[in-house]
Amino acid sequence: MTERRAILSGSTFEERIGYARALVDGDRVHVSGTTGFDYATMTISEDVVEQAEQCLRNIGAALAEADCTFADVVRVRYLLPDRADFEPCWPVLRRRFGDVRLAATMLVCGLADPRMKIEIEVDARRSSA
């Protein structure tokens, strides 16, 4: 039987909405759209670059719990309410994904909370599964 396991971050959104930060499904790991909230304090920076960095810390923690790293990521989706906020994030995103050369998409859309300036979602394949 294929492993199916939910990974929770402790975000109040997971409980209130009814989802998991990530789902391990066999050798696949699907990380839900992740924003720049620090889940321990449920605070968020006003700066989009700091939010992007926190998104990646949150994603990194979920990947680690799924026995993955950023090197295992095969697809990333960036969601931003303001397209002008994307380019300032490029150096942060390149540090995590520049050597991986994964498939990527950027969408301009509304997010659930007006304080959110970026949301990042990734899919990975576990090499150890």
pLDDT tens sequence across 13-42: 888 999 999 999 999 999 999 999 998 898
- Nearest-angstrom CA–CA distance, 83 and 117: 10
pLDDT in tens, 70-129: 999 999 999 999 999 999 999 999 999 999 999 999 999 999 999 999 999 999 999 854
Q: What is the DSSP string of the chain?
A: ---EEEE----HHIIIII--SEEEETTEEEEEEEES-BTTTTB--S-HHHHHHHHHHHHHHHHHHTT--GGGEEEEEEEES-GGGHHHHHHHHHHHHTTT--EEEEEE---SSTT---EEEEEEE-S--
